[in-house]
Every structure is written in C-alpha cells, then in structure tokens.
Chain A
Amino acid sequence: MKKNQNVVIKGTKEGLILHLCDTCSYDDLKKELDERLTENSFLHNDSHPILVKVHSGNRYLTEAQKDELRDLIRSRKNLLVEAFESNVMTREEAARLKAENEIVSVARIIRSGQVLEVPGDLLLVGDVNPGGKVMAGGNIFIMGALKGIAHAGVNGDSAAIISASVMKPTQLRINDCITRAPDEGFPEHEKRGMECAYIDEDNRIVIDRLQVLMHLRPNLTRLEGGF
C-alpha cells in the first residue's frame, strides 16, 4: 500500500464520502479512484444504491471532469454521485453568485418601452410606467409607483417577491406565474401603504400588506446580530 493515498473513502450514515487529494495530477487521481473502487469489493453487493459525495478540496474540477468522475463512479453498479464539493470556484462563478445575491439600486423612471433587468434583487427608486418592464433574478422593491410589468425570480425562484409603494401593475410575474390587473381597475380600497406580491400555497400570485412578508419570507432578513 502506498504511503500517501490520493483517494480516501469514508463511510457515514448518509452514504460514502470520497476525499480526493488536491495535489496529485488529475490523471493519477482518476487512475487511483478506479483502482480503489475496484478493490473495495464490499461495494459490489447489490443492495439499494449508495449515495456518494465527492470532496475535491482545493482542486478545481471542470464540468467535463466532473462528468468523467461521475461516470466512473456510476460504473460501479450501486454507487450514485450525490454532490461535488470543493473549496474553490472560478472567478465567473463567484461573480455570478455575488451578482445574484446583490441588491442593485437604480434611481430613475422606467418609461414605456424600457426594460431594466438585474441578476439579483432590484431596488428601484422611481416609478415603472405603463409599458415599462423590470426583471430581477431575485426580489423587486419599488420605492415609487408600479404601473407597468414587474417580473421577479426570472430564473425560477418562486419565493421571490415584488413590493411597491403604489401597486397598480399591468402585470405581475413571479417565476412562471402571471397575474394581470383586474379589468375594472384597482379598487380604491383603504390606504394600506406599501404592498407586496408573492406566490401563495396554491401557486397563485396574491397581493397583501407589506408586513405579512416577515412571516411568509423570513429569509428576506439578512441582518446578522443587531437589535
């Protein structure tokens, strides 16, 4: 047996964890992984599939390499790769992740024919006029009147919300849900100030007081410590 093992297999209650060494070459790693999986015959009894997590430490695995390893592991009958974990990511991934978690503030009026799109949350200081459109990967907060179209959670986030000081949209879209303004116009109901729109349990968009959000979407709070 070698002194330094490039692949360490650990068993846990949830399944197996493969620790891959991050200093050897990728080819060596692949070869050794293949050997180790073969020599561990205990893996071959045909019980239900075992979930495998792959930890690659400080090694960056490209998508192609991940596919290769996934295929290699899957070729052992009852092993199934659940996830890859790594300490490193590319600059683009980091930038995208940051953008998706950022609140972008914009101070202007979105007029008819204009489209504003941001990857993360949008804080608009101004109005959205009819014919204008705002889109965000996350939530949309409008400090003025929303009279055009707002589309939150464009990339499939159903938990996204839309809030506006004056909520009179032509259309609201969250993820792939769409509602439109009532044909008879908006009721002149009692002033309840800022309002918000979210997707409820029945998968419909509802509009409510802003204050309900703290119960419905507690993860909107990003404050750590304080109070």
Chain B
Amino acid sequence: MGEAIVVTSGKGGVGKTTSSANIGTALALKDKRVCLVDTDIGLRNLDVVMGLENRIIYDLVDVVTGRCKIHQALVKDKRFDNHLYLLPAAQASDKTAVTPEQMKALIDELKQEFDYIIIDCPAGIEQGFKNAVAGADRALVVTTPEVSAVRDADRIIGLLEKEEHIAPPRLIINRIRNHLMKNGDMLDVDEITTHLSIELIGIVVDDDEVIKSTTHGEPIALNPNSKASIAYRNIARRILGESVPLQPLDDEYKGVFSRLKKFFGGK
C-alpha cells in the first residue's frame, strides 16, 4: 500500500509543479514506484515540465468518468524504466469536472500499485484544492521567502490541519536567494519556519538550471551537479525517512576550483 503526498501552496507560481516533478523524479531514482498526478484541471502543465506532453492519450477526467481504464491513462516515463508514471490532468474541462470523492477513490486505487503518489495541487483554495487533498495522506507546503507566499502558505496550512486524514504538513522553502537573505532583504529560513511553525523538509535555492531544465522537459533532479537538484534529492530522502542535514546556503561551497582561487587571493 503506497502513500499519497499532495504538494500545495495556495499561491500560484511558487514552484508546486516543479517541486512535484522533481520530488517524483528523485523518488523514482531511489527505485520507488512513483505516480505523479496532475490535478490542475484546465491548466495542466506537469506533463510539459516532465516532457511527456505528446504522449497523452487519456486524462484524469476520462478515468473518473469511466471513459477509460486507469492504466490506459497513465503515461510511462521511459527514462525510469517502469518506475515513474504520470496521470495528466484534462485540459478541456475545469475543476468542477471531478469531485473530492472521485479523487479519493482514484488515489486509493493508485495506492495499491505505487509506492508514492505525488499529487500536484492547483493554486487557490477552491474545488481544485479540495480535490487534490481528498486522497492525500501527507502534505508538502511549498512557499518562497516572500510575504505574500508565506501568508498564503499559512492559510493553506490552516486548511490542511482541518483535514483529519492528512498528517501534519511539512514545509519546502523554494527559490531562496542567498544574497538577499543575508542582507535581510528577504525573509530568512528561521523567520518563515517559526512563523508557520511546521516542520521544514527542505530548502531549495533559486537556480537558473531549474528554468533551463523545465524548458527542455527534463526534471532538474536528473542533473546531479545542480544545487537545486541536490536539494530535491535530499527532500526525497527525507520523505523516505532518512535524516539528511540541510544544505549550507553559503556560496563558498561552490567547488574546489573557486576555493583554490580564493586561496590564491582571488575573489
């Protein structure tokens, strides 16, 4: 019996889809059977980020309304032989095409077969959110170090705490810009965690590589050299129950080369 994890944030554009794709990828790299479920009906893009858009034949709404079997709608990611699947959202319907009860039944069915089901939640707190959390056992709340995102995360955590079937949510702080945080021009990690007072499961620095990789439809987690990739892999390990220390934010840690340069009096 697998576990369903919903990735949510309240505010749009903080990196729910990117986080879902990369955590799913990182779990698949750890030899877990993972199914990504896009619940953003009408505004789907998890398939694009994963580079699987052209393989979609059926979607979530087709499954729920009985137009196809669940296996027909699952898109297999060939890069991870048999470990990673995507259940895409419908693009031609809207959030009301599915009810929370239908979603729960669907997720329960997927749980029979997969180790982890990562549910990508749409922005907002309406029907789409209710659908996404209906079948979840755990929740990850994504926020960026901005007051607006933190405020929305707070609201979402309040709503998640009301859902009795979900374990206490855990926090991902995304798009950290170290220089701004150091100068106090951005909320820092401690401030956010004490404010929201939930467990922190990972921090991800703002990395140009992330944008590059989404453009090419390849999750950053596949690239072992990027900081963001390591962050997502660490989050996956923490989901699996390993205890992994947080990455240091300092830039000094860039590599041997820059350290050598520094040693010889360079900047």
**Which residues in A have some Cβ–Cβ distance to B below 8 Å?**
109, 111-114, 127, 129-132
Contacts and interface: CB of A to CB of B under 8 A. Distances in A.
Given A111-B157, A112-B158, A114-B158, A130 B151 contact: yes
A82 B239 CA distance: 70
B212 interface: no
A131 B157 CA distance: 13
Contacts of A114: 158
Overall SS of chain A's interface: loop
Contact of B197 (A109, A113, A131): A109
A200 B20 CA distance: 54
A112 B161 CA distance: 12
A127 B197 contact: yes
A132 B197 CA distance: 15
B154 interface: yes
B104 interface: no
B111 interface: no
Contacts of B155: 111-113, 131
The 5 closest A-B pairs by CB, nearest first: A111-B158, A112-B155, A112-B154, A113-B155, A111-B154
Interface string B191-217: 000011100000000000000000000
B162 to A, nearest CB: 9
Contacts of B151: 112, 130-131
Nearest to A108: B161
B140 to A, nearest CB: 17
A127 B196 CA distance: 10
Interface string B154-170: 11011101000000000
Nearest to A114: B158
26 contacts: A109-B197, A111-B154, A111-B155, A111-B157, A111-B158, A111-B161, A112-B151, A112-B152, A112-B154, A112-B155, A112-B158, A113-B155, A113-B158, A113-B159, A114-B158, A127-B197, A129-B154, A129-B195, A129-B196, A130-B151, A130-B154, A131-B151, A131-B154, A131-B155, A132-B154, A132-B158
A132 B154 CA distance: 10
Contacts of A112: 151-152, 154-155, 158
Contacts of B152: 112
A149 B60 CA distance: 42
A112 B149 CA distance: 12
